Structure 1
Amino acid sequence: MAAANPEIHLHIGDLPDGLSFGDSLAIDSETMGLDLKRDRLCLLQLSGGDGVCHLVQFPKGQYDAPNLKALLGDPGITKLFHFARFDVAAIRRYLEVDCAPVYCTKIASKLVRTYTDRHGLKDLCRELLGVEISKQQQSSDWGAETLSRDQLNYAASDVLYLHQLKTRLDVMLEREGRMALAQACFRFLPTRAALDMAGWNEVDIFAH
């Protein structure tokens, strides 16, 4: 179980040299809104699943971040997301990095928790881990120059539990014989994000 009082490190513009997250990295993003062509990327949260969270805050228009980009582009690291479709698109749009391989807890949940239509991160943490997380800061101003302690705690909570959720969801995927289907969906996610950014976000190209 992740620490009740997580260790949070805030970095401006990029990660420091020498950080290691192992072979599995939980990631989330905060933006000014849900239209990535209009609403800029403000913050990226990262955790290796050890109760420690590193936040990278981007001053407006400053997305050089060589250390972060090298980490995100490393094919030896699995990137864990909840609703990867949005985060992968945000990373592609503003950091110009294609994240792969990818794992999405929301997709995994939809494939195995077919007994419910509640697949939000808060719902997964409550049911699978017995953890209550707050979403109170979800709609706050992430473009502010100084982020509040509540914002930092909220941002950290979005990545601190993804490794544990993956472990629980993998058991369910194997049990229901849907792991191969999930992996195929995960492989398609970067393409799905590219389609979103190219204008096919509301169109099902597989429809008749």
Structure 2
Amino acid sequence: MTKHLVRCVERHPAKAKGKPVRLFHIRVEDAYRPSPFWLDVEVRASASLRELDQFLRDIWLECCGHLSMFEIRGVSYEVYPDRTWGLAESKSMQAKLSQVVQVGSVFTYEYDFGSTTELKLKVLGEREGYQNKNLRLLARNEPPVWPCSVCGQPATQIDTECAYEMESPFFCEAHAQEHIQQKHDGDDYMLLPVVNSPRMGVCGYEGPDDETPYLP
């Protein structure tokens, strides 16, 4: 996909007016490998880390308004930089990408300091191009199909409590109802939907409001 996108974005540029701008190609992955979840994103170099943070929240993470943080070369970048979380230095997420990363830079991101979802980001490339938005989604993984642990059909629910004791805590709609009756006396508070995100089954995450909010 990375090789394809290098050619594809040049052949199919975003519709935009004005002068070309400096753009970074960033790969975002679940930090806990192996994982099926990844994103390829093109971001203006002039965009802030806060804008990248909002994108990650919108497409993959946001559930309860948790705090978040980038770590780049030993420095944490936060919305409230006066709060440090064990790193030597803390700065504001208002920093522009061009000020803190370059091609080849690898950095991390954490959402929610309790039930943490950690991501790894790498700047794969840079180009001059046209883009109206500060950020656009270039590609992402196909949604994985998780089989129901009972019948093998595509699952729609995950039992977040049984995830710690079952190898496959996934259920289709019908068997999810049977499962909660047998295991949880009919209380379905621990069921969450199967979604295309590394935060699936964590906290209260139910997926984004819009599955494709950043497509061109």
| TM-score bin, normalised by smaller chain | under 0.3
More helix by share: 1
More strand by share: 2
TM-score where L is the length of structure 2: 0.26
Q: Highest CA radius of gyration, 1 or 2?
A: 2
